[in-house]
Structure 1
Amino acid sequence: MTTSEETAAHDTVEAVLRSQLAKAFGGMRGVVEAAVPTIAFTGMWITTSDLRLSLMVSIGAAVLLLAVRLVQRSTPQFVINSLIGIGIGAFFASRSGQAEDVFLPGILYNAGYSVAMLLSIVTRWPLVGFMIGSVTGDPTAWRADPAVVKLCTKLTWLLMLPCVIRVAVQLPVYLIGGDQAVVELGILKIVMGWPLQIAALTAMVWLLARGRTPVRPEASRPEASRPEAS
Structure 2
Amino acid sequence: MSRQIVLDTETTGLSAEGGDRIIELGCVELLNRKLTGNNLHLYFNPGRDSHEDALKVHGISNEFLKDKPKFADVVPQILDYLQGAEIIIHNAAFDVGFLNKELELTGRAPFSTYVASITDTLAMAKEMYPGKRNSLDALCDRLGVDNSGRTLHGALLDAELLADVYISLTRGQDALLIVDDAQEGAEGGASAQVDLSRFALQVITANEQELAAHEDVMTQIDKSSGGKTIWRKLSAAV
Decide: shared fold, TM above 0.5: no
- Of Structure 1 and Structure 2, the greater helix share is in 1
Q: TM-score range by the shorter chain?
A: under 0.3
- Of Structure 1 and Structure 2, the greater strand share is in 2
- Relative contact order higher in (CA < 8 Å, ≥ 6 apart): 1
Rg larger in structure: 2
